[in-house]
Structure 1
Amino acid sequence: MLQTFGFSQYESKVYETLAGSSEPMDAALVVKHSGVPKAKIYEVLSRLIEKGMVLDTVSEKKKLYAALPLPSLIDKLTRQFQQDMEQLAASLTPKRVIDDRVWSLKVDASIRAEIKQMIQQASESIRIMAWSQDFADYLPLLLQKEREGIHIEALVIGSLETGLSNVHLLIPSKEHNGLEKSQLIVADERDMIFAGEEQGQWHAIKTGAQPFVKFFADFFYHDVALSQITQKHYDLLFGDEDIRKMLVRLRY
């Protein structure tokens, strides 16, 4: 019977012999009724004890053995089967291999498609920065992901009503009008895309290389800090010619 569950023939015979007895048995009786050789009996009993299939005790200086009751055996084997299946499923689950190559991508439509795909695949967090016209294209997806419980933090350059919980806005000054646009997304702290527009053409890099991912995540918060400081102290900062020129030289 137990051979079906991966036990040896001797183990199965010993357990069935003990399970069929109304009283505990010593090794000699197990040999007699199971047919397992005397030279093997203690080894087999020891394995069954280690596997929790057999109980042992000492009574009147004699070692006795009893089988784990059948209901308990069924429960044990069921639990073990479930655990084995869970371990098998875990071992067969495709492991994510980090692609630390830096990929180059061109064309606005292709870059937008990749950013949308990254938003859809995010399972934990999204940091995203874009100018308002571009951000509006991603907004429906971002709202859906936030409803699913994904943490989203966004920086929008320009005026835009998003409905997202955690949004930072930076309204460019007139000196910023000539700056090229850019976009950044960091998903799940694992992957990132940074795209920039130069002379009307979009170029992007995409990578899972952690040094780049961490750098651009910090870069995102650099921009957030800049936007908050600028908004809070706008008159002071832009009222000073030297500071204004320095700020204008930054990305925004």
Structure 2
Amino acid sequence: MSEPREIPVHIIESLKSLGLTKYEALVYIGLLRVAGATATEIHEISGVPRASVYPVLDRLMQKSLVSVSHTSPKRFNATPPDDGIDSLMHRIEEDAAQAREALTAIYREKAEEHRADQEFIWSIYGQENIQGRLTDLIRNAGKEIRMVANWNLLSETILPLLRQARGAIAVEVVTDFWEGEVPEGVAVHVHRHCMKHEQCENHPPMENAGVFIVDGAKVLVWMGSSGEETSALYSESPGFVQFFSRYWTNIRDWVKLSNQ
């Protein structure tokens, strides 16, 4: 039986990446070089310690890389490389599928806990970015949109977006002024002090600002600030939505009472 031959490190590393240990790789490669060998001969051709040969052979047989004869003494043969690598790849794919399923379950548990325990509020900067988010909210609204916003923001930005809303969306607006016809499906509450344009002519111009509540589940708060970049807050957290829903209701009811 020949002495152990030096094996390129990259071959051993490749087999290790497929799930073999160093000793398993050495034994498998050694057996590929001979037409069957006993455990003692395997020790000699592979360089694997004698006490480790049988445990290594048992693991290689479990991986379908080695077969054993029923002779005495037993002789071991290597599975051809094509079949051997296919067997290793199949095991890897099965292990990967099981790992993916288990890890996905863990990830979903974490996501559910975070949704329950944390209320994320996102900051949005720049009018273009804010308008983009508001466009998506209005276009994808399912049943209702409630808002309180000044007329400048409504006329320049919001009304054109409302025309793009899908389906029959109930829209309720609280504002400081309204000019022109009220679109179908839109309920408008205007403070009585600004029912006519001339009544507001002497008022200082208002910054673009508004609160937009979509489907009772999403809120965008647009905040104009003189001399600073326009910003907004956006959240789907229950606490945030509940707070601004109550705020909106209080403002609407106050306007209704003021107009009586």
Class of the TM-score when normalised by the shorter of the 2 chains: 0.3 to 0.5
Larger Rg: 2
**Bigger share in strand:** 1
Give TM-score, length-normalised by structure 1: 0.46
